[in-house]
Amino acid sequence: MSSHSIEKAFNAQFRAAGALRRQNVTRDLDKEKLRGKEAPVGADISDGTAKYFLTEAGSATAKRLIAGGDAASAASAG
């Protein structure tokens, strides 16, 4: 998904959490994708616009969180 798509979807579905700003989505996802093998996200920029996706590490972290693990242990285990 592009940062614009992420912003629109989040803001439509999670209004009570407060609005996301596209530039912050881009900044934070770009920072996370630089973590090397442990990066939870990657980006495909083949068409000139970054499309973000979960990596294997990101999917594993999501599964741990869904199973009831907390964010701190999921991040340290990744």
Give the global pTM. 0.74
Q: The tokens 């940062």 sit on which residue?
A: 3
Q: Which residue range forms the structural domain that includes residue 8?
A: 3-77
Per-residue pLDDT band at 77 (split at 50, 70, 90): low
**Tally of domains in the chain:** 1
Taking the C-alpha atoms of residue 34 and residue 38, their distance in angstroms, rounded to an integer, is 9
**What mean pLDDT comes out for the span 30-56?**
94
* Residue for token pair 């693990």: 69
Name the token pair of 61. Answer: 């972290």
pLDDT in tens, 5-39: 999 999 999 999 999 999 999 999 999 999 988 99
Q: Does residue 22 sit in helix, strand or coil?
A: helix
